[in-house]
Chains A and B, each alone.
Chain A
């Protein structure tokens, strides 16, 4: 019953992984909400966030830091990650989506242009920086594996706390933006019915590009957290992107709460199920996709259904 003993540990692990999935999944879902398109290049937005935050963090990190200093560095990493990713996402929309939208291209053309952009970004970053995977973030300022609290045998490390807290705060912030601001209202309106929203005086182009900005910022936060926890590289986006996309679909794509739930659920399932004695770690991805397929077969529009306008 080794598995049962370790269950709390797995849960914490799943929660950390899941909150990163959720952050990226939110980006997919936001874009899907307003455009009804899968943003295939979103995984590269996530990757760009890790690179961007690295550039700043690696400058700040050397030397001794107290708790306050370290927190500031983490904050700076989160912010730069968010900013760089947001800019990349914005550019992405400008280059790969807007011209196609203006031409009334078939839906698949968007998918392919995003794939083209994705290839381009991966290799451009690889060319400019390097093509290794798992480049380390500086760790001296942050003893990331130091235990923070122990509850009945569960050890929660520092990085896990940072990830969960940061993800939670970001999601609350997103919730406020979407539900409490004028921009949020226009996003919801566009998601609900774009032509009508346009009639009501909402600038659709601007709303769409701001949606990309927000989704990008979320991915950037996730990018920094992921890089700090597991290292970064130009191809880091692909696996995470596919999983996060799966998470978004799981919760009901276009639905913000669904994406959060889907992300957490996927993370936890991935952490809990494979260690079961009769399954095995090497089947992790299979488990994730089998769960996804099973849920979709019984609930064809995901756990929480689709509407961004309604459920957000």
Chain B
């Protein structure tokens, strides 16, 4: 080690690495900089261009140096991170800064140009007649002072592990978060417009996280020494508490602050709405519900739900909470339906019909009722003492495999119910733009990721042409409704195209699979990639069949159902498509869940792990792989039908290789072989570009997404939500790192083979 040249010194290397990081960061920030005439201009500007602190490069090199010191002295810093409460504090602090700097606080572009806290506070502090609470909060250094005070208080509490200080810091944090939240509420009611910005809610959550850290610090003299254990213990004893807590928060929000009814800029909360309909011809049950029913029911649900979940396993109370929640949810929906319908028929100004002109309030109330009912149901049905005892055993013994949140009893159902409630009732509160994103980006790609997960995640076959089946589904639909130059023998409504499209996609899958499935991994990848390209190019070139790049015309009609008295047609409203998609997705997910542990699913797992061994134990590998291909393909085909009938117009550009690659990236990003993982991966990575649109120059989005994917793979190669099976394998008895035999790092090559 003595004769190492200076440039191979690890510290020097690290310094250079950090400086390079700074350089790259400085190049990534800012507007589009190159031009056709002057290719250098981008680099020149980034390196030498003037900014607030001289050339940007200096700032970022300083960042690099900071990172360098952080890494170098990590061993000194690390012990402090083990202190109870420090992690939630750090996460929360980051969240508050994000909420203050990055996220929008208002959609109203008249009030503040970009809608972020800085500009909003400029506007708000010069506005007359705003409530003093809001006025104070929006006077500029105040939010930051609040932030610093709560952070420092928490930090002191964490370092001293002082109980009183901990509670005090938690109180400060809660006050700070609520203050910002209420101030935002006042501004919104002052402006009188419905609002979808996330900033204030986000900072509230972040402050609550910090407060959680302070609480952990306050209680750290108890035997519960670290945050994760603390949280796990808190929930392990109380199945359903998680759900009841969220439900209560959502419910309070809906009762106290959210807009329930907003025709033509009227921003009516629940109280306003009940005044609006008082004494009108609205059905009495709804009137009573608006006047006091909502308060009483939600209050009762929250109270009973919390008592039932906090006290251990009060089964009867659980059933009560369940009943109240269900009744409340039904009444809420009924009232929303009746009230909007009545308002429209009586000619309220701006009211346009059933389910129209609603604010977020009613939907949030429904969401809260469903969550509380779910919490009650979990308490009532879970065989709590046994489960809790088991959980306790797991927590006590240090060498168990488990350790993640999902091992908490009832947590699985709680998460499931929460997701369902949000999926059902959150989309109506979103803006039309986001509803469109939800349906035509997130929803469709989640469905595709579910399908590809079968092929890539379960059977371990790398398919880079998955979009081809999606194209087959779309074009089959267009053909069956008669929108293509090639006419079908009979025309049907798009929904009835699903079985045909599934069959066609299945045939395509088998056609591709049968000759190629004996190829191994990477060869299969290139063949599927070629197949995907062939399908797309055929769609472009076969003009007499597919109408080439112009796509189907006339547009594919919207789906419709007409069975006897049941008549329903999907129109332009994205929400309707969302619910259709939700139904499709739920059916597919239920099917796949059952498939995963079936004989076929186990055969896939065997093939994935070791194909030769699987064959030797009697698995018909070819058939199993073909099934994987066919099932994946048909899911993709269903997504194609949905896509075609929702957008109406499409062309071969929608089926490029890039999408195939992206879907693979979604699946791996989320966690290969894990159904929730694949869905989460697709949802996050399709949501991210739309989110980034407002944060960075639009054309740079892919750069940031690339960076996110890269970082994810570096720091969490198993994905967002790793598959249980894989996780268990990795955490299993032998702790030896699983290393690709050809890629053994030098330092480990001696030990790892033993």
Indicate, yes or no, whether A interacts with B.
yes
Residue numbers of A with Cβ under 8 A of B are: 32, 34-36, 38, 51, 54-55, 58, 95-96, 99-113, 115-124, 126-132, 135, 190-191, 194-195, 198-199, 203-205, 208, 238, 242, 245-246, 249, 253, 280, 282-283, 285-286, 288-290, 292-293, 296-297, 300-302
Q: Is the CB of B522 within 8 A of A32?
A: yes
Q: Is the CB of A293 within 8 A of B530?
A: yes
The 8 closest A-B CB pairs, nearest first, are A119-B706, A116-B709, A289-B530, A105-B717, A120-B706, A123-B703, A113-B713, A116-B710
Q: Is the CB of B529 within 8 A of A119?
A: no
Residues A104 and B749 in contact in the complex (CB < 8 Å), given A128-B27, A297-B516: no
Extra A-B contacts (7), CB below 8 Å, given A119-B709, A123-B699, A128-B34: A109-B713, A112-B709, A116-B708, A127-B42, A129-B39, A253-B522, A288-B530
Q: Is the CB of A246 within 8 A of B703?
A: no
A111 to chain B, nearest CB (A): 7
Residues A128 and B737 in contact in the complex (CB < 8 Å), given A99-B714, A293-B531, A301-B523: no
Chain B, range 25-40, C-beta contacts under 8 Å to A: 27-28, 32-36, 39-40
Rounded to whole angstroms, the CA-CA distance of A115 and B257 in the bound complex is 45
Q: Which chain B residues border A121 with CB–CB below 8 Å?
A: 706
Q: Which chain A residues border B195 with CB–CB below 8 Å?
A: none
Rounded to whole angstroms, the CA-CA distance of A105 and B508 in the bound complex is 33
User: Is B97's CB within 8 Å of the partner chain A?
Assistant: no
Q: Is the CB of B530 within 8 A of A194?
A: no
A133 to chain B, nearest CB (A): 11
Rounded to whole angstroms, the CA-CA distance of A286 and B515 in the bound complex is 18
B362 to chain A, nearest CB (A): 41
Residues A135 and B36 in contact in the complex (CB < 8 Å), given A105-B713, A106-B717, A245-B526: yes
Max count, chain B CB within 10 A of own CB: residue among A124, A199, A280: A124
Give a binary string over B637-674; 1 marks a CB under 8 Å from any A CB, 0 the rest: 00000000000000000000110010011001100100
Rounded to whole angstroms, the CA-CA distance of A198 and B661 in the bound complex is 34
User: Is B746's CB within 8 Å of the partner chain A?
Assistant: yes
Q: Is the CB of B534 within 8 A of A290?
A: yes
Chain B residue with the shortest CB-CB distance to A101:
B743
Contact sample, A vs B, 11 pairs, CB 8 Å cutoff: A108-B462, A109-B668, A116-B710, A120-B706, A128-B42, A198-B746, A204-B743, A238-B658, A289-B534, A293-B527, A296-B519
Q: Is the CB of B522 within 8 A of A194?
A: no
Rounded to whole angstroms, the CA-CA distance of A205 and B737 in the bound complex is 17
Q: Is the CB of A297 within 8 A of B515?
A: yes
Q: Which chain A residues border B707 with CB–CB below 8 Å?
A: 116, 120
Q: Is the CB of A115 within 8 A of B709?
A: yes
Rounded to whole angstroms, the CA-CA distance of A292 and B524 in the bound complex is 11
Rounded to whole angstroms, the CA-CA distance of A60 and B424 in the bound complex is 64
User: Is B753's CB within 8 Å of the partner chain A?
Assistant: yes
Rounded to whole angstroms, the CA-CA distance of A108 and B460 in the bound complex is 9
Q: Which chain B residues border A301 with CB–CB below 8 Å?
A: 523
Q: Is the CB of A124 within 8 A of B523?
A: no
Rounded to whole angstroms, the CA-CA distance of A129 and B32 in the bound complex is 9
Q: Is the CB of A116 within 8 A of B713?
A: yes
Q: Which chain A residues border B712 with CB–CB below 8 Å?
A: 116
Rounded to whole angstroms, the CA-CA distance of A32 and B522 in the bound complex is 10
Residues A204 and B744 in contact in the complex (CB < 8 Å), given A108-B456, A127-B32: yes
Q: Is the CB of B705 within 8 A of A119?
A: yes
Q: Is the CB of A194 within 8 A of B742?
A: yes
Give a binary string over B713-754; 1 marks a CB under 8 Å from any A CB, 0 the rest: 110011000000010000000000111111111100110010
A33 to chain B, nearest CB (A): 9
Chain A residue with the shortest CB-CB distance to B681:
A112
A263 to chain B, nearest CB (A): 14
Q: Is the CB of A249 within 8 A of B522?
A: yes
Residue numbers of B with Cβ under 8 A of A are: 24, 27-28, 32-36, 39-40, 42-43, 46, 456, 462, 515-516, 518-523, 525-527, 529-531, 533-534, 537-538, 540-541, 657-658, 661, 664-665, 668-669, 672, 699-703, 705-710, 712-714, 717-718, 726, 737-746, 749-750, 753
Q: Is the CB of A194 within 8 A of B741?
A: yes
Q: Is the CB of B36 within 8 A of A104?
A: no
Q: Is the CB of B709 within 8 A of A113?
A: yes
Q: Which chain A residues border B737 with CB–CB below 8 Å?
A: 103-104
Among A195, A282, A286, point to the contact of B749 (Cβ < 8 A). Answer: A195
Q: Is the CB of B717 within 8 A of A100?
A: yes
Rounded to whole angstroms, the CA-CA distance of A206 and B753 in the bound complex is 20
Among B32, B541, B717, point to the contact of A103 (Cβ < 8 A). Answer: B717
Q: Is the CB of A282 within 8 A of B743?
A: no
Chain B residue with the shortest CB-CB distance to A205:
B746
Q: Which chain A residues border B522 with CB–CB below 8 Å?
A: 32, 38, 249, 253
Max count, chain A CB within 10 A of own CB: residue among B32, B515, B518, B740: B740
Q: Which chain B residues border A283 with CB–CB below 8 Å?
A: 537, 541
Among B40, B516, B526, B541, point to the contact of A246 (Cβ < 8 A). Answer: B526
Q: Is the CB of A108 within 8 A of B668?
A: yes
Chain B residue with the shortest CB-CB distance to A302:
B523
Q: Which chain A residues border B36 with CB–CB below 8 Å?
A: 130, 132, 135
A185 to chain B, nearest CB (A): 17
Q: Is the CB of A113 within 8 A of B710?
A: yes
Q: Is the CB of B742 within 8 A of A35?
A: yes
Chain B residue with the shortest CB-CB distance to A283:
B541
Rounded to whole angstroms, the CA-CA distance of A135 and B38 in the bound complex is 11
Residues A296 and B527 in contact in the complex (CB < 8 Å), given A127-B34, A195-B744, A249-B522: yes
Max count, chain A CB within 10 A of own CB: residue among B530, B534, B669, B739: B530
A268 to chain B, nearest CB (A): 18
Q: Which chain B residues border A242 with CB–CB below 8 Å?
A: 529, 533, 657
Among B43, B531, B744, B749, point to the contact of A128 (Cβ < 8 A). Answer: B43
Chain B residue with the shortest CB-CB distance to A192:
B742
Chain B residue with the shortest CB-CB distance to A249:
B526
Q: Is the CB of B672 within 8 A of A116?
A: no
Q: Which chain B residues border A289 with CB–CB below 8 Å?
A: 530-531, 533-534
Residues A198 and B744 in contact in the complex (CB < 8 Å), given A104-B739, A122-B702, A300-B520: yes
Q: Is the CB of B530 within 8 A of A246?
A: yes
Q: Is the CB of A300 within 8 A of B710?
A: no
Q: Which chain B residues border A296 with CB–CB below 8 Å?
A: 516, 519, 523, 526-527
B714 to chain A, nearest CB (A): 5
B727 to chain A, nearest CB (A): 12
Q: Is the CB of B714 within 8 A of A100?
A: yes
Q: Which chain A residues border B745 with CB–CB below 8 Å?
A: 101-102, 204-205
Residues A101 and B456 in contact in the complex (CB < 8 Å), given A116-B709, A127-B703, A195-B753: no
Chain B residue with the shortest CB-CB distance to A245:
B526
Q: Is the CB of A118 within 8 A of B743?
A: no
Rounded to whole angstroms, the CA-CA distance of A108 and B524 in the bound complex is 14
Q: Which chain A residues border B713 with CB–CB below 8 Å?
A: 96, 100, 105, 109-110, 112-113, 116
Q: Is the CB of B710 within 8 A of A120?
A: yes
Chain A residue with the shortest CB-CB distance to B745:
A102
Q: Is the CB of B699 within 8 A of A203?
A: no
Among A124, A132, A297, point to the contact of B703 (Cβ < 8 A). Answer: A124
Rounded to whole angstroms, the CA-CA distance of A121 and B668 in the bound complex is 20
Rounded to whole angstroms, the CA-CA distance of A133 and B356 in the bound complex is 47
Q: Which chain A residues border B46 with CB–CB below 8 Å?
A: 128
Rounded to whole angstroms, the CA-CA distance of A35 and B743 in the bound complex is 6
B255 to chain A, nearest CB (A): 44
B88 to chain A, nearest CB (A): 26
Q: Is the CB of B526 within 8 A of A292?
A: yes
B704 to chain A, nearest CB (A): 8
